[in-house]
Structure formats: structure tokens, C-alpha cells
Amino acid sequence: MMWWWQRPRPAVVLVCLVVSLVASVTEAAVNRDHPRQPSVRARAAVVMDATTGAFLYTKRPDEQLPPASTTKVLTATLALESGRLDESVKVSRSATRVQPSKLHLRPGESLRLRDLTRAVLLRSANDASVVVAEALAGSVKSFAAKMNRRAAELGARNTRFVNPNGLPAAGHLSTARDLALIFRHALDVPDFREIAGTPESRITAWRQKRRRTFYLRNSNRLLRGYRVPVVGKTGYTRAAKRCFVGAASADGREIVVALLGSTDLWGDARRLLDFGLAQPAPTVHVTTGKKGDD
């Protein structure tokens, strides 16, 4: 039984209907301008022109969904923007207790922040992400607040992060559009392209006189498995399914693709990339919230 105070108010219902209608009309308008649409199994997806910010394709672009490890794009971005990359950072016991995938760091070990950032982007290491968060903000909670402020500055206003790694958590949500905006910004951050575009790397942790070397292999298959290199970040949890955000350049133009909730990740990604790179470059700049836009 629904009591009178539980019934949705007419004004609230009207606002929800209007928001839904506007989103549907906007998506239809974007896709109408590009009639040959890719077949995408992902729950939500976008293709963006990286130069202008124009969206070339959208599918449920503003639906809030769990982003899994694509979260780590912003974690790495904040580390790279910190100006502290050469600092040595100590591993806490709490950081070692997070779920895999991880490096299996040990309490008291030290690593350079730059190397931790490599582990975050290439190995998708959940423990390294927590070490970064604690180093830059003192705690995971404080770092999440920092992430959310930065996301809002970049125009990602339908995003709320609870942790730095994308492990399942209540309220940890983003959208395909927001991930594209965050990634578009990351492309301009010094060292991001170089790190995200590295197929393999090694980093070192030390504790007193003992050293351990970790071998990192990039989880992004499209870095070498597509006709042009694709710089990007993967993500997966059972709830989120397969996720990806990345960018590719060809013939003087660059596109950003983002997809959430896919059951055919690499097929979806290739179809979005093929579609985006085949489109004529937009000539009108679109304000998307990227730093520096009005």
C-alpha cells in the first residue's frame, strides 16, 4: 500500500519527465547528424571529438552507472597534477588490505609517486590507488572529496566517486559523458599520455635495504591491437561489467570514446573508434566543461 505522503508529487514527476525528454531529444539530435550509427552492446557509450568537445555519438550518455577502474583516470590525473611525482610515498597497512587486482604491496614499503601512478594506469592496482589517495589527501574519504571537486570543475557533474580505484561502493557512479570529459582533460596533463601509452614497465618498492621490482603490463589491448594506438583505461567489476575510456588519433584529428556496462568490450570499442575516426571533423567548438571553457 502506498500512503498519501509516499506518492510522488506532480511537480516532481513533471520535472523528471522533462529531464528525461530533454536527454532523449539531445541524444536523438546528436545521432541524427551521423546517420550510420555503430552497433554497441554497452549500456552507455559516447564518441567525442577531442579538439572541439563535440559529441559525435551518444547512447544513454548521462545514465549514472558504476565505472569500475575507469575511476583511476582521475586518480592518476590528480597525482600527475600534484607536482609531487618524485616524492617517496610509504605504504600503509590499510592500503594493503584492498581487494585485487593489486601489486600486493607490503606495509612500510616506499615507492615514488610517479611509479605508483604507473601502477594505477597500467596494472590497475587497487592498493597503489589507495596509497596515492592517502599520500595526497590523508585518507580515501578526503581524496574522494578532492576527486569530486575536480570532476565538477571539468564538467562531470553526474559523477560521484567514493574511492580512488572503482571497487564497488554505494553511490560510486559516473556516466559515459563524464568519463569522456575527464579523459579529454587528462590527455592534456603532462606525462599522462606517456604513462597510459606505455605497453610495459617496471617499478621498484623498497623497505630499508630490501627492494622488490614489479613488472607492469598495460591491460589496454587496443594500445597495440587496433590500426592506430589507442591510449585508454579499462575497468571491470561484476556489477559494472566491462568499461573503457580512451582516445585515438588519425589523419590529424583525435577522438575520445567511453563505454560502460559492455558485454563485448573490445568489439564495442573498435566499432566506436571506427565510427568516430570516419566522421568529418567538427568545426564548431562545443563547451563541455573542460578547464578553460566558459
- For residue 156, name the pLDDT band (cuts at 50, 70, 90): very high
Q: Report residue 284's pLDDT band, with 50, 70 and 90 as the boundaries.
A: low
The yes-or-no answer on residue 72 being catalytic is: yes
Distance CA 179, CA 55 (A): 13
Q: Which of 20, 24, 39, 72 is catalytic?
A: 72
Surface-to-core class of residue 111, CB atoms within 10 Å of its CB (0-12 exposed, 13-18 middle, 19+ buried): buried
> Model pTM?
0.86
Please classify residue 169 by burial: count the beta carbons closer than 10 Å to its beta carbon, then call 0-12 exposed, 13-18 middle and 19+ buried. Answer: middle
Exactly one of 59, 69, 102, 233 is catalytic; name it: 69
pLDDT digits (tens, 9 = 90+) for 223-269: 999 999 999 999 999 999 999 999 999 998 999 999 999 999 999 99
pLDDT exceeds 50 at position 22: no
Q: How confident is the model at residue 134 (pLDDT cuts 50, 70, 90)?
A: very high
**pLDDT above 60 for 18:** no
Q: Given the residues 59, 102, 124, 174, select the one marked as catalytic.
A: 124
> How large a percentage of the chain has pLDDT more than 90?
81
User: Over 70: is that where the pLDDT of 138 sits?
Assistant: yes
Nearest CA among 95, 99, 161, 152 for reference residue 129: 95
What pLDDT does 35 receive? 53
Task: Say whether pLDDT at 21 is over 80.
Answer: no
